[in-house]
Structure 1
């Protein structure tokens, strides 16, 4: 009952009064694990060193994944997203847990019969498999389907009536193979009414490698994404927004199809890029001082070796910043804090406070300025994570890491903000919000 009341309260805070938008309740993949900030908070401790290692490894893998050229067909599946949600497919409804990812495009789920679909993982048990033949409303999509397009599609020479097959290969030699199908997806509208939309999605019948959930639901920019399909069918806007509680609180809300309340929200344009949510970062300030970083450090360039520029990505744990900019930012923070550097934890520089001092009062604030003059104001917990060191003592570890050319602003800066992806008008906006209610 408490979780239901919290959900209702959060919806009332975040969203406009319209009834047409779809609502998804989100859950953080790692917050429920032993040693997480959520689990250790009652002990007055930060996350364990082992848990910090999980997050650092996810952050590093995700960064390498987003720098890939053939996105979203390259990378590790485990790099796809931090939050999952439960969706219903078919009639009678079959419930599945899928990663919600702003960095990928399509919805695909494990389908029966499926080879190697039930590999064990400790993130989201138990696993489920979608049964196409058990649904009275399912159908296999043919190569003539208007959404049967993309690099992953495989159509036989027998013509447009053949099944729209797909093969997705990944850098860790894992793969997902199957066919595109159509079936009803069940979801709840903002007003509380349940509804369905007929969705085009991937039905995986052969999987290699480790796949810890039932599927992926991409919220990227192409027409095959679920929100874009629903927007077309229901004459809704191509928009979505999320409010993430972060690893410490573990939950959140995602709304698609309708704009949230944009009062006090600031906006920056989305660049004309089709693979990621790219924006133009102009400067970084610490307290009131603008750091002397060349704006070219953040310029978008796509070439044969890697991508550069600035990406907003809810699936990245922390932040990746270009090497020069990150070094300059860290040195400025270090010069202004009263905390002392101590031993590193999982490769991160960590500060240690004297008894009685707090993170909020011991470290400076940071401001990001984007194209159009919009700013994102960051507190110390947007660049530091609290982790258990020893003898029940916490370290405050600098969680922004260096990368060659690419800057990614992940969940650590997006948490406790209502973030609005206005694909319709090619812009992204945000404002402060309590997302942990």
Structure 2
């Protein structure tokens, strides 16, 4: 039996196509930008096994720290779940890069790359970056401040003519190595309500010289990865440190109509309540305090929400499903099905499924995750129960204890619970928050130099319809908007 896409749930495994670009600024005017995104599996049939396998790879990478032997810096990184077409160089060439909120650096495959993919099954044309052919491109020496700050100090044996190198090892065994360069990156700047113009910014990024594992495969190949994480080497951190952008961004993923919004900058509408980020964590972790099912708080061990070095609960809009430790998963499932003892369960491609003829929203309880600072995340039955064929539903919550040894104690909330919400990441104040929202509408973002407020609406490049597992994956598009401070 092939699992189908539920009509009310956001696309499983979302790699989107963000089409565009980051910030450079005219000091005389305010600056904002626009990015367009596309679903990774456009026109490709995908089974539930593909989706689960993707989540498995992503979670493995989240749990791993990047190995940067030259400077000893660990970059925790994971698979990019979005891809964007950005312009790099002078003259500009286009590159498709995964946009990854869990990793930090931007890197693209270099002209001299060994074992880089030559073609992609995603239907895009791959391009190798050649810094020598760009008038604005330059190599970064290990003597330069960017290299020293990235590695926490000057590298042993460094000479002025030695490039600053990078090496990232992922949890699934794939890796990328190369050297840093600086060049122009182009993007569409918003100049008013729904108005844009193309500008560029100087950014330091990696020139990939060798790839291995999935990164060298043609099945899901792109030109590189655009890290959207918290470290000083990330794109947003570079722009923020130069005073050009706010270190604040938000996304809103619309699972009902398709499309959505992704913004860098201060969102003034809607208002978003926040909870503190757990300090000294590589990902966006928050303090989960309790889980409520049908109005009753689950009785769980008090120390369950914080285990080992990775404190808190990971908020990850790229991972499709949501994972809970077995000690939380079993009580949660018991409470969800307490009024349905007569249901007969079956396993469909490792998912627990059952037949049900009524409305799941009427027949099953809502699940509420309670976080520090009294912030709640509501998950409705149509979110955590997705439909497979007529009257057959499968459970989106997953038992982390059955997934991997490293992930058995981890709480990870993916797009299963984050869709149809505006999720705000405020790295300036070290908080994260969300509010239920119509992601096909618009938000308002503020230019902090002029005080101007712009309306940014969701943009759909092509008709996006609800997706079905095993039959077809239709186009799912987002428009991503960037609001930047003029400097």
Q: TM-score, normalised by structure 2?
A: 0.74
Match among 319, 340, 347 for residue 350 of structure 2:
347
Rounded to whole Å, the distance in 2 between the matches of 1:339 and 1:423 is: 48
Change beyond 3 A, Cα 1:366–1:243? same
2:287 and 2:372 in contact (8 A); partners too = yes
Deviation at 1:99, TM superposition (A): 1.3
Contact 1:338 1:362 in 2 (8 A): no
Of 276, 300, 306, the residue aligned with 1:299 is 306
Alignment of 1:419-430 (within 5 A): 419-430=423-434
> Among residues 395, 400, 418, which one is paired with 1:398 in the alignment?
395
Q: Does 1:326 align with 2:329?
A: yes
User: Per-residue deviation at 1:262?
Assistant: 4.6
Counterpart of 2:238 in 1: which secondary structure? helix
Pick 1 or 2: higher relative contact order, CA cutoff 8 A, min separation 6.
2
C-alpha separation in 1, matches of 2:54 and 2:424: 24
Q: How does 1:96-175 map to 2 (within 5 A)?
A: 96-123=95-122, 125-149=124-148, 150=150, 157-175=157-175
SS at structure 2 position matched to 1:210: helix
Instruction: Report the 3-state secondary structure (helix = DSSP H, G, I; strand = E; otherwise coil) of the residue aligned with 1:63.
Output: helix
1:254 aligns with 2:262: yes
Q: CA deviation at 1:269?
A: 0.6
8 A Cα contact 1:65 1:75, kept in partner: no
The residue that corresponds to 2:178 in the other structure is: 178
The 1:131/1:144 distance shift into structure 2, 3 A limit, reads: same
Query: C-alpha offsets along residues 262-302 of structure 1, whole Å, 9 cap, x if unaligned?
Result: 54422111111241111000111112111112331112531
**SS of 1:381's equivalent?**
helix
Q: Which runs of 5+ in 1 are unaligned?
A: 1-6, 8-17, 36-50
Give the superposition deviation at 1:76: 12
Contact 2:57 2:79 in 1 (8 A): no
Give the match's secondary structure for 1:190.
strand
* Residue 88 of structure 1, CA deviation: 1.2
In structure 2, runs of 5+ residues without a counterpart are 1-17, 19-28, 216-220, 401-407, 441-457, 459-487
Cα separation, 2, equivalents of 1:188 and 1:339: 56
Q: Give the aligned CA root-mean-square deviation in angstroms.
A: 2.9
Shift in CA distance, 62/367, structure 1 to aligned 2, threshold 3 Å: same
| Residue in structure 1 matching 2:415, options 376, 391, 411 | 411
- Asked whether 1:81 is paired with 2:80, we answer yes
Distance 1:82 1:360, change over 3 A: farther
Q: Is the 8 A contact 1:71 1:275 kept in 2?
A: no
Q: How much does 1:113 deviate? A: 2.6
Report the counterpart of residue 240 of structure 1 in structure 2: 249
Change (3 A) 1:172 1:421: closer
Q: Which moved more, 1:158-167 or 1:176-185?
A: 158-167
Aligned to 1:22: 33
Q: 1:170: how far off?
A: 3.5
Contact 2:317-2:414 at 8 Å conserved across structures = yes
Q: Report the TM-score, using the length of structure 1 for normalisation.
A: 0.81
The 5 Å alignment of 1:188-207 reads: 188-191=188-191, 192-207=196-211
2:388 aligned residue:
387
What is the alpha-carbon distance in structure 2 between the residues aligned to residue 66 and residue 118 of structure 1?
Answer: 23
Count of equivalent residues: 393
Which residue is equivalent to 1:271? Answer: 278
8 Å CA contact 2:278, 2:311 repeated in 1 = no
Match of 1:47 in 2: none
Name which of structure 1's ranges 185-194 and 147-156 shifts more when overlaid on structure 2.
147-156
CA distance in 1, matches of 2:33, 2:344: 46
Aligned to 1:230: 239
Q: By percentage of residues, which structure has more helix? A: 1
Shift of 1:194: 2.2
Q: Residues 386-425 of structure 1, C-alpha deviation per residue, up to 9 Å, x if partnerless?
A: 334xxxx353211211222210111111111111100000
8 Å Cα contact 2:97-2:223 kept in structure 1: yes
SS, match of residue 186 in structure 1: strand
The alpha-carbon deviation at position 108 of structure 1 amounts to 0.6
- Measure, in 1, the Cα distance between the counterparts of 2:339 and 2:137: 60
